[in-house]
Structure 1
Amino acid sequence: MSVPGIDVPDARGRTGLDRAGRDLTGNPDVVVRDVHLLASSWNVLRRTTLARRRRDGAWLTEQRDTYDAGDAAALLLHDVERGTVLLSRQFRFAAYANGHPDGMLVEVAAGALDGESAEAVARREAEEELGVSVADVEHAFDAFMSPGAMTQRIHCFAAPYRPADRTSAGGGLADEGEDIEVVELPFSEALAMVDDGRIADAKTIMLLQWAALRGPFRG
């Protein structure tokens, strides 16, 4: 019987999705025994059976479910002269379902790589979501967002902007269902929103704190 995503293409044209992890050799204390594809309607959910050697030498057999949304890039736009950052506000159902009051999250511009370079995606998302064409882009750091269950790593960047760099109203791509509000904030207010929970998105919190500690707003 043919299975979409394994031996016949799934909705995104992918096959062999059950092969991920089978060839890993970087850790001699971990041996992947089997990979079972659970879902691949858009992102990929797998259940992997592995043997893992504990520090006391005993081997354990474990199962781990991993959600593969692909790597992504994020970009913090900052204007040091005016002391502002440019962010987005959009609805996130997963956050809404897990207790966020209305699911409307304030975030930096971000998007999936889908085969492009991280910097190219960061630039594109700034233009699509926030309507800004950026010139100089600085790599800040890379981070695994939820390594207990998600494979995703986000490549985080920062770039200066000026009012003259606003080339469109932004808002995202309507044909992809995006409905994004552009939010310009004083950097001090953005940090206060982290403190009181109004900004609760991890990549945004990390980039704002990087900007304060090591980036353009460092003391």
Structure 2
Amino acid sequence: MSDAVGSDELQVEIVEREACFRGFYALDRLRLRHSLFRGGMGPEISRELFVRHDAVCVLPYDPQRDCVVAIEQFRVGALDKSARPWLLEPVAGLIDKGESPEAVAYREAQEEAGVTLQALWPVTSYYPSPGGSDERVYLFVGRCDSQGVGGLHGLAEEGEDIRVHVMAFDQALAAMQAGRFDNAASIIALQWLALNREQLRQVWR
């Protein structure tokens, strides 16, 4: 049986959806047809879909010291394409059933960086790789006091080994421009902060 989803103008007809793998993540195979911009329906196509929990990313920012807190950890996705697969990132975590993105941001900041967030500023939400994944990321900047922040963090039972960095904003921006921050959440958060930093400092100070 096929299902149709979409607006009145553009439609997707799902012919079949097969569960190919179920583990911590999941993989589905879909046979579908969708509307064409020139009109009518296109041919049936097959697509694999990586089914993931939605995620939260939060960049802790200290408006008094004009510093950001970044975490560094090994990432298997960078293993084959980076000489150094330890990446600089914002704090991040997956949203469990019944959790709000805000609750995840506060929890993960404490677990991954030892940071107690005082407030959150929503930046945006987006699909990081919609060509093959249904994950949606909720991105925040979080107000914090960076004094005394640093060291090693993470939950051993989750295999986390995290090093925390406190960086002056200008230093972090230069690191991004040099390619040290090379993941979407970091780049979006730092560019947003570059555009909105003065407003944020006025509100949060």
The alignment's TM-score, normalised by the length of structure 2, stands at 0.88
CA distance in 1 between partners of 2:111 and 2:122 (Å): 20
CA distance in 2 between partners of 1:127 and 1:216 (Å): 26
Q: Tell me, yes or no, if the aligned pair for 1:137 and 1:159 is still in contact at 8 Å.
A: yes
Higher strand share: 2
State how 1:43-62 maps to structure 2 within 5 Å.
43-59=25-41, 60-62=43-45
CA RMSD of aligned residues (A): 2.1
CA distance in 2 between partners of 1:61 and 1:95 (Å): 33
CA distance in 2 between partners of 1:149 and 1:129 (Å): 28
Equivalent pairs counted in the alignment come to: 196
Q: Which residue number in structure 2 is paired with residue 11 of structure 1?
A: none
Q: Tell me, yes or no, if the aligned pair for 2:154 and 2:160 is still in contact at 8 Å.
A: yes
Q: Tell me, yes or no, if the aligned pair for 2:67 and 2:146 is still in contact at 8 Å.
A: no
- Superposition deviation, residue 214 in structure 1: 2.5
Q: Which residue number in structure 2 is paired with residue 204 of structure 1?
A: 186
Deviates more, 1:54-63 or 1:72-81: 54-63
Q: Tell me, yes or no, if the aligned pair for 2:69 and 2:165 is still in contact at 8 Å.
A: yes
Describe the SS at the equivalent of 2:194: helix
Q: Tell me, yes or no, if the aligned pair for 2:27 and 2:48 is still in contact at 8 Å.
A: yes
Rate the CA distance shift 1:169–1:24 in 2: closer, same or farther, 3 A. farther
Q: Which segments of 5 or more consecutive residues in structure 2 lack a partner in the other structure?
A: none
Residue type of the partner of 2:136?
R
CA distance in 1 between partners of 2:112 and 2:193 (Å): 21
Q: Which residue number in structure 2 is paired with residue 172 of structure 1?
A: 154
Rate the CA distance shift 1:174–1:23 in 2: closer, same or farther, 3 A. farther
Residue type of the partner of 1:26?
G
Greater than 3 Å deviation, 4+ residue runs: 163-166, 215-219
Q: Tell me, yes or no, if the aligned pair for 1:67 and 1:149 is still in contact at 8 Å.
A: yes
Describe the SS at the equivalent of 2:84: coil
CA distance in 2 between partners of 1:70 and 1:23 (Å): 23
Residue type of the partner of 2:51?
D
Q: Which residue number in structure 1 is paired with residue 138 of structure 2?
A: 155
Residue type of the partner of 1:49?
R
